[in-house]
């Protein structure tokens, strides 16, 4: 399972050991107070983000069993090509 967080258009992949409900609660608390830094562990580094009421945060979770849909055969008229 991979957790992605996007903060004001910048995307990060969080470490799996971070409890998502706690991260969400910390961001919610920071957004409802004066501007506050929230520290996350992402992509092999520690990231501190200044959260304020206008900060846009999107969190998505990609499950391990996620499979890309089959694209199927190309719908191009290859039989009309001269090779």
Give tens-digit pLDDT for 8-56: 999 999 988 788 999 999 999 999 999 999 999 987 899 999 999 999 9
Q: Residue 39 contacts by C-beta under 8 Å, 6 or more apart in sequence?
A: 46, 47, 48, 49
> Residue 50 falls within a domain, yes or no?
yes
> Residue 73 falls within a domain, yes or no?
no
Distances (CA, A) of 13 to 33, 68, 71, 76: 25, 19, 26, 37
Separation CA 36–CA 30 (nearest Å): 5
Domain with 8, as residue range(s), is 2-65
> Residue 11 falls within a domain, yes or no?
yes
pLDDT of residue 44: 83
pLDDT of residue 8: 95
> Residue 78 falls within a domain, yes or no?
no
pLDDT of residue 74: 58
> Residue 82 falls within a domain, yes or no?
no
For the chain, the residue count is 83
How many structural domains does the chain have?
1
């Amino acid at each position: 399972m991979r957790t992605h967080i996007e903060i004001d258009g910048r995307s990060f992949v969080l470490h799996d050991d971070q409890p998502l409900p706690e991260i969400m609660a910390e961001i919610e608390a920071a957004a409802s107070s004066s501007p506050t830094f929230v520290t996350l562990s992402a992509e092999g580094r520690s990231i501190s983000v200044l959260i304020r009421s206008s900060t846009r945060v999107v969190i998505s979770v990609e499950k391990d069993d996620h499979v890309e849909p089959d694209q199927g055969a190309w719908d191009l008229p290859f039989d009309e090509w001269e090779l």
